[in-house]
Amino acid sequence: MTLKQPHRCGAWLLAGGLLALLAGCAAPSKPARTAPVEDRRVAGAAAAAPLPAPAPATPATPPPPGSENAGKPGYYTVRPGDTLYRIGLEHGHSWRDLAAWNNLSDPNRIEVGQVLRVVPPTAEPVTAGDGVQTQPVAAVAPVQARPLETPPSGARSPSTTGGGAPAAANGTGKPAPAASATPEPTPAKAAPADAIALAWPARGPVLYHFDEVRNKGIGIGGKAGDPVLAAADGRVVYAGSDLRGYGNLVIIKHNNTYLTAYAHNQTLLVREDQTVRQGQKIAEMGNTDADRVKLHFEVRRQGKPVDPLSLLPSR
């Protein structure tokens, strides 16, 4: 029996499809494309690790010594460029006293902002009840009574005539009332407790005068080696060259109010704490830290510069 052609073609197509299907099953399968894997173990471990401890706080800088007394009367706040020697000069005291009052073992070790006592502990200002600062009253030295001066025995009263009878002075011809033979005594004026009489510390001419801003004293000329004399009795509170601008310097304290300073010396002849007398040679004139040979002479009243010519005798 002969098969028809269409049936033969359909069989071939069926067979081809089966073969293609079998070939597809036999071929190795292409691996599926997967998303990238992120390893979170390190991140998890970092998240689980404890946070580092905060750094310890830097300790605050301690305030300068004595800062609790800043602004109080009798205290001074150290500024840049200050030295204990200069502070002593500016306040009329020895640097040794300042060191003792402030418990300073090394006078060269003071710091900016440090507050120093610049008055003796017994002379600290007292606060009155209304808050006004008052200074302690200084003891006044007793005044010595002086005998009254009586006119010489032969002297005549200006209100008497040659015969000794009272002169007529009222135009009536009647004698004027006789003046008292002994005049009423004038009360003696008490000198200040710390009054001082100065003598010239050198014989040369005055080169420049006092100026509160530029020259806090006077300049006295001379030649190198001329004697420099103490202007009054006192105690040497400084002898050295630590104060810039003064050269070899001597400072003498005369009482609780006054001190004198002698600068630019060639040679110093006294030492600290030495007692000197008025007119005693304390140095020789020079030009240390100066532009010429001279004596720079200062007078300080409670640390404040005053014009020396107002206290020196005229010449």
Both tokens assigned to 85: 């020697």
Instruction: Dump pLDDT digits (tens) for 164-200.
Output: 444 444 555 555 555 555 555 555 555 566 779 999 9
Q: Domains of the chain by range and CATH?
A: 67-121 (3.10.350.10), 206-308 (2.70.70.10)
Instruction: Dump pLDDT digits (tens) for 200-232.
Output: 999 999 999 999 888 899 999 999 999 999 999
- Length in residues, the chain: 315
Q: How far apart are CA 251 and CA 236, in angstroms?
A: 6
**pLDDT over 90, % of the chain:** 43
Residue type at 161 in one-letter notation:
T
Q: What is the pLDDT of residue 309?
A: 96
Is the Cβ–Cβ distance between 257 and 233 less than 8 Å?
no
pLDDT band of residue 134 (cuts 50, 70, 90) is: very low
Distance, CA of 78 to chain centre: 4
Please state, as a whole number, how many other Cβ atoms lie within 10 Å of the Cβ of residue 266.
17
CA end-to-end distance (rounded Å), the chain: 174
Q: How far apart are CA 271 and CA 89, in angstroms?
A: 17
Q: What is the pLDDT of residue 234?
A: 96
